Amino acid sequence: MNSDSKKQYVVAVVGATGAVGEEMIKTLAQRSFPVKALVPLASSRSAGSSVEFGGKDWRVSQLTENSFAGVDIALFSAGATRSLEFAPAAVRAGAVVVDNSSAFRMDPTVPLVVPEVNPHAIARHKGIIANPNCSTIQMVVALKPLHDEAGIKRIVVSTYQSVSGAGKSAIEELAKQTTALMSMQEVEPKKFQWQIAFNCIPQIDSFLENGYTKEEEKMVNETKKIMEDDSIKVCATTVRVPVFFSHGESVNLEFARPISPDRAREILARAPGVEVVDDPAHGLYPMAITAAGKDASFVGRIRADRTVEHGLNMWIVSDNIRKGAALNAVQIAEKLIV
């Protein structure tokens, strides 16, 4: 799909009333994506409502297989089940799908893309392009330039993931539980299996037979696919924390070649999509409140791992709804029309 500077596109947003869908629409507007018409789609529960874009209200229609006539680009944010059911229909109608779910990520025929890392993969699409897991996106944006410099052999990552990664209902649950507990009232978990307010839950998604969760396996497999290097060893632990927006990640790296903390800072300071915040002596390092609403992956606490020959530790924080989902999808769409 190519464009000239005057061409505009019909863009569908599937899951338009969800947290990610709403952010996709906002991001399209903020980045002045050339939208001729917006087609907001959602379940029957939201059909008939409206979303604001470009100074006007657009009616939300119910998602069906016939929703994509005339659509050029379809941004999907409604979950894997919906993507598997409706993305092929969008492709048959002539749209290019950018899918935010896990449905197609490990399909060898579907590119898994982070534009700062592997934009060339977009050219291989056959109608569907997959958006990676939010935790994977923010990590590989920071790690790819370091991998190019010194060759990453092993990654050990522990995540501190905000509740917004589980949707609007999870945000509401944290807010309600916090209010209830501060009022000395009991809480009953609904969205999460345990109380999330004032607690950390070391489980995101279901457990596999190997003892890891699906979320952890996503980080392992997606990192290798995006970085295009199956030799990288990845070990992940993913944890849900009582934060509304932004995921934090403690990342330990072992390299094949020498790389100092100062050299890593130098490389990351000029890397696309990365902002270095690393002055611990003055209390400057990335935090959830640093990243919320921002586009970058923020990196700090860069220091040597003295237990291996060529090792670094670092701390990465990014807004999971923004760069971890909506922004990455819109950036892919921007690459499609260049």
Catalytic residues: 134, 247
Distance (Å, whole) CA 110 – CA 177? 40
The candidate with the shortest Cα–Cα distance to 112, out of 136, 88, 78, is: 136
Which residue is it, tokens 């890397």?
A: 271
Question: Token pair of 77, please?
Answer: 């944010």
Contact 239, 162 (CB under 8 A): no
* Burial class of 104 by CB neighbour count within 10 A (0 to 12, 13 to 18, 19+): buried
Distance (Å, whole) CA 338 – CA 322? 22
Distance (Å, whole) CA 109 – CA 252? 31
CA distances from 335 to 14, 83, 116, 147 (A): 20, 21, 11, 23
* Burial class of 236 by CB neighbour count within 10 A (0 to 12, 13 to 18, 19+): buried
Q: What angle do CA 111, 12, 59 make, to 5 degrees?
A: 160
Q: What amino acid is encoded at 261 in this protein?
A: P
Q: What amino acid is encoded at 70 in this protein?
A: G
Would you put residue 280 in left (φ > 0), alpha (ψ -120 to 50) or beta? alpha
Distance (Å, whole) CA 279 – CA 236? 27
Per-residue b or e along 327-338, where b marks 16 or more CB atoms closer than 10 Å to that residue's CB: bbbbbbbebbbe
Which residue is it, tokens 């505009």?
A: 8
